Structure 1
Amino acid sequence: MRQLEIHLKARDSETVIRAIKAFEPVDWVQFKVHQEDRVYLKVVMHDGRSQALSDAIYRALDTCKDWRVTLIPIEAVIPAPEPLEEEDKKAQLKVLREELLDDVTRDAALTSDFLILSGLSTIVAAIGMNSNGVAAVIGAMVIAPLLGPILGFALGSGLGNMVLLKESGKTLVAGLTIALIVAFALSFILPINFESQQLMSRTQVRLDSVALALAAGGAAALSMAQGKSAVLVGVMVAAALLPPGAALGLFLGAGEFGLASRSAMLLFLNIVCLLVSALAVFRLKQIKPRGWIDQQNADRAFWINVGLSISLLVLLMVLIVVLDLGEAVDLG
C-alpha cells in the first residue's frame, strides 16, 4: 500500500477530493493547516490503485501552481483493509512509476563515487582473474556499480525519457572506459597468467552466454519493478559486464589482440542482451509515461532501441556460430 500526502491551494482541493473518492481509497483525511489558503490531504491506497490515483491528481493539478504529492510506502495497516478485486490485483505494481524513476535515475547518475567504484572494482577483478582467485572476482562483482546505467537506459527507452537515456549512456560509457584504462595500466604491472581459468574463460564466447545475460537483465529489471532489492541480481549483471571489461584491458596491454577481441565481443554481447531483456520486462510490466503524447514518444524510443539491439544481437550470435565452426574445423 501507499500513503499519498497532498499539499495544495484550497481553491484546487475539490477536484482532487473528487478524484480521491472515485478511486475508493482505504482511508483519507483532510487536515486543517495554519495557512488559510492551503489544504493538506492524506490518503491510504492499495498498490493496485495508487498509480492511477497519482496520475489522476497530476492531470487535475497540471495547470495549477504550488502543489506537491509525496508518495510513502506502507509496511502494514491495522486493521487490515478489504482486499482488492481480481482485476485490480492483476494490474498491481509494487513500485510506482515515480518511485522507480527516482531510484533508477539516482543509480544511473555519473558521479565521482561511481567512477571510483568502477576503478576499484576493476582492480579487484583484474587481480582476481589473473591470479585465478574466485573470491576476489566475486568481491569485484559485489562492488561494481554497472547495474544502474543499464537499467536507466532501458527505463529511459520505456518512458521516452531522453534525459535519462543520455545520462545512462554517458554513465555506462564512463564506467567501462575507467575499467579499460585501469585494467590496461595493470597489465604493465601484472604478468598475464594464461593458465588462469578465471581470466581465460572471459575469452570464451558461446551461445549460452546469451542466455545468461538475458536472464540476468530480465531478473534485474523485474526485481526493480517489484520493489525488491536488486543487490543479488546486480551481482549477476556485474558478472556479465565487469570481468570481460577488465580482461579486455589486460589483454590489450599485453598485446594479445586476438584474446582482446574475444573479450570485447563477450562484453558487447552481454551489454546488448542485458538491455534487450530489461526493455522487455519494463514493457511487459506496463511501466509507461503518464500522457498520450509522452506514450507516443516512448513507443518510438522503445522500438528504435529494441530494433537496434536485436539486430546487433543477431549479428553477434552469427559471429559466435562462425567462430565455433572455425574452431571445429581447426581441431579437425
Structure 2
Amino acid sequence: MRLLEIIITKEDKEVLEKLLDIEEVVEKWSSETLDGHLVTKALIRDEHTKELLSNLESMPNCRVIIHPVEGILPKLETPDEEEEKKIGFSKFIAISKEELYSDVDEPVNLSVNFILMVILSSFVAGIGILKDNVAIIIGAMVIAPFLGPNMSMAFGTTLGDLKIIKKSMITGIVSTVIALLISFFWGMLAGDVGNITMDPKLSAEDVVLALVCGFAGVISALGGQGGSLVGVMVAAALVPPLVRAGLLLGGAYYSDALNSFLIFSTNIICLNIAGIITFYLAGIQPGKWWEKENAKKKTRNAFLIWSLALALIIIAVLMIRKMGTE
C-alpha cells in the first residue's frame, strides 16, 4: 500500500480527479495550501501505483511525494480472486520507478562507509581464501557492497539515464580497483599463495550462476524486499574470484590470476544482462514518450555490447584451453 501526496495547481484539479476516479484508489482527500496550490492524498494499492505515477508524470507543475504505508485501521479488504487474476505478471512489482531511483542511488554513492565496506570485505575474503575457510568467505559476502553498482547500472541503462550509468560505472570501477590492489599487495607480501584453492575453469555453471544472481537481485528490488540475501549471492559471484585474482597476481601466478579475473568479468557482464532483461520486462521506462524511444535504443545497444563482451570472453577462454592442450 502507498500513500501518494500530490501537489498541483487549481487549474489541474479536474484532470487529477479523473485520474484518481478509479477503483484502485482506496481513499482520497484534498486540502488547499496558503499559496493557492491543492494537496491531494490518495491511498492506493502497491500493484497499481506504477500506472498512476506514469500518468501523473505527464502532468505539468505536478509534484508527488510517495509514502510507504506500514499499516491501516480498520484493515482493508483484500482483492477478490478475479481481480488477482487481472493483476497477473505485474503482481510481483510492489515498488514504483520513482522509489527505485532512491533505492539504486544510495548504494552507489562513493561515501566513506561504502569504501570502508569494500576494504573490510576484501580483507575478510582474503583471510578466508588464504585459510581456505568457507565460513569466513561467507562473512565477506555478507558485508560486500557489490550488488548496488551492478543493479544501478542495469536500471540506468533501461531508463537511458546517462547520469546513473556514469555514477554506477565510477563506483563499480573504484570498488574493483580497491579490492584488487589490496589483494595484489597482500599476495606479494604473503609469500607462496600457490597452495590456495583455485577457481575452477570458467564453465556454463558460472554463467548461469551470475544470470540467476542478476535476476534475483532485480526481482528483489522490484518487490520492495531487502536485498541482503541477494547481496550475498552477488558477492559470492564477485568478491572471491576478484580477491583471489589479486592474491595470485601478487604471487606471480599469472595464468591462475587471469582465470579468476575472467570469472569475475563474466559475472559482471551476466549480472548486467540479467538486470537489463528483468527491468525491461517489468516495464521500467521513462515517463515521456520521446524519452522512451531513446531509452529503448540505449537499452538495445547496451544489451548487444554486454552480449558481445560475454561472447568474446567465452571465445578467449576456449582459445586458452585449446592452447593449453597443444
TM-score, normalising length from structure 2? 0.91
Cα contact 1:125–1:242 (8 A) shared by 2 = yes
For residues 23 and 160 of structure 1, what CA distance do their matches in structure 2 show? 33
Question: Comparing 315-324 with 224-233, which one deviates more in the overlay?
Answer: 315-324
> Residue 253 of structure 2 is aligned with which of 233, 251, 256?
256
Query: What letter corresponds to residue 46 of structure 1 in structure 2?
Result: R
Query: What letter corresponds to residue 137 of structure 1 in structure 2?
Result: I
Q: Find the residue that maps to 2:191 and give its secondary structure.
A: coil
2:303 alignment counterpart: 306
Q: Find the residue that maps to 1:181 and give its secondary structure.
A: helix
Query: What letter corresponds to residue 210 of structure 1 in structure 2?
Result: V
Q: Find the residue that maps to 1:27 and give its secondary structure.
A: strand
Alignment of 1:1-332 (within 5 A): 1-22=1-22, 24-33=24-33, 35=34, 37-60=36-59, 62=60, 64=61, 67-77=62-72, 78-81=74-77, 83=79, 84=83, 86-92=85-91, 93-197=93-197, 200-201=198-199, 204-325=201-322, 329=325
CA shift for structure 1 position 270? 0.9
For residues 243 and 223 of structure 2, what CA distance do their matches in structure 1 show? 32
Cα contact 1:118–1:178 (8 A) shared by 2 = yes
Instruction: Show CA shifts across 1:199-256 (max 9, x none).
Output: x12x532221111111111111111111111111111111111111111211221122
Identity %: 30
CA change 1:23–1:160 in 2 (3 A) is farther
Cα contact 2:193–2:247 (8 A) shared by 1 = no
CA shift for structure 1 position 124? 1.0
For residues 246 and 122 of structure 2, what CA distance do their matches in structure 1 show? 10
Question: Comparing 276-285 with 22-31, which one deviates more in the overlay?
Answer: 22-31
Query: What letter corresponds to residue 70 of structure 1 in structure 2?
Result: I
For residues 27 and 81 of structure 1, what CA distance do their matches in structure 2 show? 13
CA shift for structure 1 position 289? 1.4
Aligned residues: 321
For residues 55 and 298 of structure 1, what CA distance do their matches in structure 2 show? 16
Q: Find the residue that maps to 2:189 and give its secondary structure.
A: coil
Unpaired segments of 5 or more residues in structure 1? none
Q: Find the residue that maps to 1:28 and give its secondary structure.
A: strand
Cα contact 1:128–1:134 (8 A) shared by 2 = yes
CA shift for structure 1 position 30? 1.4
Query: What letter corresponds to residue 241 of structure 1 in structure 2?
Result: L
Instruction: Show CA shifts across 1:38-81 (max 9, x none).
Output: 32211011223212222222222x2x2xx531112224443424
CA shift for structure 1 position 161? 0.8
Cα contact 1:207–1:317 (8 A) shared by 2 = no
Cα contact 2:193–2:248 (8 A) shared by 1 = no
TM-score, normalising length from structure 1? 0.90
CA change 1:99–1:36 in 2 (3 A) is closer
Q: Find the residue that maps to 2:238 and give its secondary structure.
A: helix
For residues 248 and 91 of structure 1, what CA distance do their matches in structure 2 show? 40
CA change 1:251–1:85 in 2 (3 A) is closer
Instruction: Show CA shifts across 1:299-323 (max 9, x none).
Output: 1111111101111112222333344
For residues 256 and 90 of structure 1, what CA distance do their matches in structure 2 show? 49
Q: Find the residue that maps to 1:141 and give its secondary structure.
A: helix
For residues 248 and 323 of structure 1, what CA distance do their matches in structure 2 show? 17
For residues 273 and 172 of structure 2, what CA distance do their matches in structure 1 show? 16
For residues 84 and 262 of structure 2, what CA distance do their matches in structure 1 show? 49
Unpaired segments of 5 or more residues in structure 2? none
For residues 30 and 180 of structure 2, what CA distance do their matches in structure 1 show? 56
For residues 8 and 186 of structure 1, what CA distance do their matches in structure 2 show? 58
For residues 236 and 268 of structure 2, what CA distance do their matches in structure 1 show? 11
CA shift for structure 1 position 23? 6.2
For residues 24 and 258 of structure 2, what CA distance do their matches in structure 1 show? 59
For residues 268 and 75 of structure 2, what CA distance do their matches in structure 1 show? 47
Cα contact 1:207–1:320 (8 A) shared by 2 = no
